[in-house]
Amino acid sequence: MSSTPHAWPAGYPPFQPRKWLTNGHLQTIAGNFLPRTNTLPEPVAEIIEVTPAHHHQISTEILCECHWQPEAVRVDRPTVILLHGLEGSSRSQYVIGNANKLWTAGANVVRMNMRNCGGHKYEMAARTPTLYHSGLSGDVAAVVRFCTETMGLNHISLIGYSMGGNLMLKYAGEAGASVPQLRAVVGVSPAVDLAASADALHEKQNRFYERRFLRALLKRFRRKAMLFPRAYDPQMAYGIATLRDFDHRITALYSGFRSADDYYYRAASARVLPSIAVPTLIIHANDDPFIRFTPETRSLIEANPHITWLETGHGGHCAFLATPDPATHNDGYWAEHTALRFIFDHAV
């Protein structure tokens, strides 16, 4: 295990990888495909406007799948907003895993989708003229406002994975201490340093992941061009071979950035880590195939007393598969149990 900015906190068990899964790639792949037990009740679909209509365009809306505790106790229970990673959705396995644990523990659960993601029957791609990207922390702010102002909830916490982790941390840094209802934030394998992580995806051993992301992103972009032919040129998708290419030629062009580098700089939560003012947990595996933390970012984490840093030797990307222990009803999803504990340690 590499050196860590903070000492391992008391009371949080260390991570021991499941037998035969001490390789970061194996952890990542197994964690992505192993199904979680799902006993959640049917969600309440909330369509939340994150950007109002302007210049004759339609407004931007996102779908949240919500599980509310009984009305008599709802306001007093912790409310946790969960956010998926790149090309995931509210139905990603790690979102379902966290949601089940939080719901069983008595929390309200909001499974948030990024723009264009989730809810096929609602055709979410047609409900926004824009693409999604790693800098849209304002969408998180809109969901927090929905929970606090519309629902009247007082104990809000956030859990984000990978790209969603960057968005949650970026929102927390921008909000500072201005949202009294915000109690805790957790980023699991968060893409805090976007440029370094995007470049790591292009390394030879990670091309499998990059190709998979690119296929999904390009398919989504072509679908967007069909829905909004006056806004998007499908020919921009030709000849794209790397994630950096996609972000330079498509994300930057259509989202108001000068270049991929400008996008990576402005959208990265690394810039606002010093402003985080609520209890925050960052979980990162040293063998994560493509998430990178620069020395400068590690220094910022170390300097902020509000941030707890857990860096494990193994765990891969968004996986952290430990050995299940039926005697204690532990299913072996270490990051999910650790996030649950951190949320309830700080929720009220």
- A 10 A CB-CB count for 220 gives 16
What CATH number does residue 69 fall under?
A: 3.40.50.1820
Whether residue 55 has pLDDT greater than 80: no
Residue 229 lies in a domain: no
Query: Tens of pLDDT along 171-184?
Result: 999 999 999 999 99
Share of the chain above pLDDT 90, in %: 86
Please, are residues 28 and 319 in contact by the beta-carbon 8 Å criterion?
yes
Q: Which of 285, 279, 69 is nearest to 172 (CA)?
A: 279
Q: Is residue 185 in some structural domain?
A: yes
Does residue 8 lie within any of the structural domains? Answer: no
Please say whether the beta carbons of 339 and 281 come within 8 A. yes
Average pLDDT value for residue range 225-237: 95
Residue 303 is predicted with a pLDDT of 96
| 73 within some domain | yes
Q: Which of 190, 210, 192, 188 is nearest to 200 (CA)?
A: 210
pLDDT of 111 strictly over 80: yes
Residue 258, in any domain of the structure: no
Tell me the residue range of the domain where 141 lies. 24-193+268-346
**Cα–Cα nearest to 194, from 236, 246, 130, 237:** 246
Residue 164 domain flag: yes
Q: What Rg value do the Cα atoms of the chain yield, rounded?
A: 19
Say if residue 6's pLDDT is above 80: no
Give the span between the Cα atoms of 104 and 40, in whole angstroms: 9
pLDDT tens-digit profile of 311-346?
999 999 999 999 998 888 899 999 999 999 999 999
Query: For residue 148, what is the DSSP state?
Result: I
Q: How far apart are CA 152 and CA 190, in angstroms?
A: 29
Number of structural domains the chain divides into: 1
Residue 340 exposed, middle or buried by CB count within 10 Å (0-12, 13-18, 19+) = buried
Q: What is the mean pLDDT of residues 287-297?
A: 97
The contacts found for 230-237 with CB under 8 angstroms, 24 or more apart, are: 231/129
**pLDDT of 212 over the 50 cut:** yes
| Domain-located, residue 98 | yes
Phi, psi angles (nearest 5°) of residue 60? -100, 125
pLDDT confidence of residue 1: 41
Q: What number is the average pLDDT over the span 38-62?
A: 88
Of 112, 100, 97, the C-alpha closest to 147 is 112
| pTM for this model (two decimals) | 0.95
Is 75 within the bounds of a domain? Answer: yes
